[in-house]
Structure 1
């Protein structure tokens, strides 16, 4: 079905609000138990949208979101989009140094922030204004910018990814071919409000079909989630593999309402999937995507992914494996430029955007093999990107921060696997002597977010390099795992 023109993403997400005005749209579960009906949600979005419109100059102005793990985040996100302003999604964990760099690149016109979080310098904060009338959703070309999210690139610097209003339309393909989501569902997502996985899977998609979103309150331990799933009668549950691993440490109550679970953010280990299915009697359906494009490979209840695969291309997606510029049975997993979920590009980086394409195909950088049944098996990353709790992290960015430590002459980072369902970021450094871990962590604290910081530190005499002097991160990883890792 062709995307309507003109179009507004926020209006699409809230299209059921009038009809379902008294239905619960959002419940923050835990001791607080905050609940918003669809009428409450739409009213809060429209009130904030009116304030944003009054305090900015016009369509396309950018609004940096510096908000914690509360319902304020998705409300501000939709409010900005409603009036054709472009929200800049940022993690509350980022340091002042990181925020200043992002602001220099994105040039926000306004900031919406929680107290205590670093905010960009010389950018006005939204005022607590008296009520302003909402003048309606701004409509336009579905290909115009809607929001900006950040991801780490192989260059070492986080990249600003610009998505269009049409991105929400592409997510319709996930409703059937991953979620099996309907208005009758209660979707619980274990992630934080300000994580893009939660924002899409846990909030925007349930609201766009008229379902109820359940989000655990900030500070909820993974071990408490099984009880919350049962108490709030969740029908679907979504999390990253690391959360599943922690949840499985204890016994589960019976959850007769739970139909199945969803996983994304990193590859789900087969052992974790099997353990979940044994404990709960329900399946986990996995999806593969990236910051530059919403998930496009997945399994679903109607078509489960064969064991060990990423699943199948979703209906309506044009996906192929590219090797040496041509479609192949094994190659880089690639997305056609016509896919509505694909980004508009990297902000202010036209050359870097072009480099990610081979003709009409956007190259993900990950290698896959096509199976006879059409499913895709993940063969590994084509680069050295690391994964920390579902966040893709560039080793170069972490290495650059480590290099500012006076005692370190060289550093390299790699994601190392401790056992089949647990991997961590390790830092390998060259120094005259072993440096106390606390000293390095204290040095990194003001430079990079907590999730990017290594959890393992190894002093080495020298870093391995190839004939062209290229750093061999994979050799560091393999050597460490040979001595310490478990399978």
Structure 2
């Protein structure tokens, strides 16, 4: 049974699985059972205390996906504060995050990542994680020493991890997520999808991102189930081997990953035919309706689109499991989360009106760290302002029309790029699309679209197709045909940066 009271839970408390039940499995790695996992977390946290690290210390982790990353993250969060970083960062990026976090230590696996080690400061400890026959161990490297600290595990009010916002238009903001926030979020996800000890989640999302950490990993461990965590993370070719070998009952991914798997699904009919999938989950960016429909047809399982943010410790809304109504094109409704729509002045709007999506829930963080200006903008009367525009229908389902800062303002006409994307994607020659605002001398902004084709088509034909479904002012003025769409570290398309990346200048 999952406890309904999660207010005083830590990440260690969430590991409720039976001692002998598999907690973590991976190709070419020994299975880690719940009893072993919990003991390793306690032992490694105590080892970090001996290195002089404890409550209040920020511990950077630069490791790729795998069971070792899961164990390291949990031990670090129970000792101090985990700061998982993208292992693909450059040396300059690692240096920025170490400084911004005031990191006390860096944990690497084996010899680690050269850029992460090269960015180390003189006062940071370097800790090497090694996989031994009996489990993971930590080893202090170099000459830097700190005084040993007494053995002490985190409490629910302690900050379990620090993540950063994406920082596409400004300096990234630090998001301190407490144990109680994560416990609440994991509980919401369990309730949304009726997760049990029988479930096996295939973790393809990176474990430096809240999506992978909370949806795929923590919610599964908090339900007593098994996390399948392949070493190295997502691989569209290897996915099908994992799928056949470990028989997951669900997986969660960003739309980019779903589309890559769709492209290879026809070559793996046997794996799909033997599948035990209960559902697929999509989150972290908008899933085009046409892709959702293809996924459901291909995998013969419901595809449930969820809406999430780092500041909410991941999930805010989701479409429900059958037999409850599933509405493609929406992100469902709140599970353990209050959802509303607010105007610019901070007034809540009636159902059916368009405005900014706001949320209130135990999984929402208390605020950004040391950033009163950002907090004043983001929190109004206890509501967190998501920065997304949307509308709630008569059944309580939320539809998103885009990030407020991504809306295209064409001479005063506000255009949702998601609406344009969904139309263009339905053309059979189009593989991927990203509509975006381009500078314009008289209109301020105009609509452009970056398109990846699977069949040849010219701009004239594509514009003619769009005019059948979109008002003239919403049809892209120009189409940019690309080999691939530029994406961020977690697979999100770089909509706000497209004009800059394509070197588009203002035109009449």
Q: Tell me the TM-score normalised to structure 1 length.
A: 0.75
Note the alpha carbon deviations across 1:329-371, whole angstroms, 9 max, x for none. Answer: 32111112xx211123222212212221122211000011110
Contact 2:197 2:224 survives alignment (8 Å): yes
Partner-residue secondary structure (3-state), 1:158: coil
For 2:369 and 2:233, locate their aligned partners in 1 and report how far apart those are by CA, in whole Å: 33
For 2:181 and 2:318, locate their aligned partners in 1 and report how far apart those are by CA, in whole Å: 18
Alignment partner, residue 244 of structure 1 = 258
Contact 1:167 1:342 survives alignment (8 Å): yes
Counterpart selection for 2:105 from 104, 110, 115: 110
**Structure 1 residue 449: deviation in Å?**
6.4
For 1:231 and 1:357, locate their aligned partners in 2 and report how far apart those are by CA, in whole Å: 46
Partner-residue secondary structure (3-state), 1:103: helix
Counterpart selection for 1:290 from 298, 309, 328: 309
Structure 1 residues 75-94: aligned runs within 5 Å: 75-83=71-79, 85-94=80-89
Alignment partner, residue 219 of structure 2 = 205
For 1:171 and 1:113, locate their aligned partners in 2 and report how far apart those are by CA, in whole Å: 28
Contact 1:368 1:379 survives alignment (8 Å): yes
Contact 1:27 1:213 survives alignment (8 Å): yes
Alignment partner, residue 138 of structure 1 = 153
Partner-residue secondary structure (3-state), 1:12: coil
For 2:153 and 2:507, locate their aligned partners in 1 and report how far apart those are by CA, in whole Å: 55
**Structure 1 residue 226: deviation in Å?**
3.8
**Structure 1 residue 193: deviation in Å?**
3.3
Alignment partner, residue 463 of structure 1 = 506
**Structure 1 residue 209: deviation in Å?**
1.4
Contact 1:74 1:194 survives alignment (8 Å): no
Indicate whether 1:310 and 2:331 are aligned.
yes
Alignment partner, residue 359 of structure 2 = 335
Partner-residue secondary structure (3-state), 1:288: strand
Indicate whether 1:22 and 2:26 are aligned.
no
Counterpart selection for 1:320 from 340, 356, 364: 340
Contact 2:65 2:230 survives alignment (8 Å): no
For 1:197 and 1:134, locate their aligned partners in 2 and report how far apart those are by CA, in whole Å: 32
Note the alpha carbon deviations across 1:292-312, whole angstroms, 9 max, x for none. Answer: 112111012143431211101
Contact 2:7 2:180 survives alignment (8 Å): no
Aligned length: 407
Alignment partner, residue 280 of structure 1 = 299
For 1:58 and 1:283, locate their aligned partners in 2 and report how far apart those are by CA, in whole Å: 44
Which is further off, 142-151 or 224-233?
A: 224-233
Structure 1 residues 10-159: aligned runs within 5 Å: 10-16=11-17, 20-29=18-27, 32-83=28-79, 85-114=80-109, 115-119=112-116, 120-122=120-122, 123-126=124-127, 128-129=138-139, 138-140=153-155, 142-153=156-167, 155-159=169-173
For 1:117 and 1:279, locate their aligned partners in 2 and report how far apart those are by CA, in whole Å: 41
Counterpart selection for 2:174 from 160, 176, 185: 160
Kindly tell me: are residues 422 and 143 of structure 1, through their superposed partners in 2, closer, same or farther at Cα, counting changes over 3 Å? farther
For 1:154 and 1:459, locate their aligned partners in 2 and report how far apart those are by CA, in whole Å: 17
Contact 1:180 1:300 survives alignment (8 Å): no
Kindly tell me: are residues 318 and 423 of structure 1, through their superposed partners in 2, closer, same or farther at Cα, counting changes over 3 Å? same
Q: Unmatched 5+ residue regions in structure 1?
A: 387-413, 430-447, 466-487
Partner-residue secondary structure (3-state), 1:156: coil
**Structure 1 residue 35: deviation in Å?**
2.3
Structure 1 residues 225-236: aligned runs within 5 Å: 225-236=239-250
Q: Unmatched 5+ residue regions in structure 2?
A: 129-137, 141-147, 409-416, 440-487
Partner-residue secondary structure (3-state), 1:25: strand
Instruction: State the Cα RMSD in Å.
Output: 3.3
- Where relative contact order (Cα < 8 A, 6+ residues apart) is larger, the structure is 1
**Structure 1 residue 173: deviation in Å?**
4.3
Indicate whether 1:422 and 2:422 are aligned.
no
For 1:208 and 1:244, locate their aligned partners in 2 and report how far apart those are by CA, in whole Å: 25
Contact 2:255 2:283 survives alignment (8 Å): yes
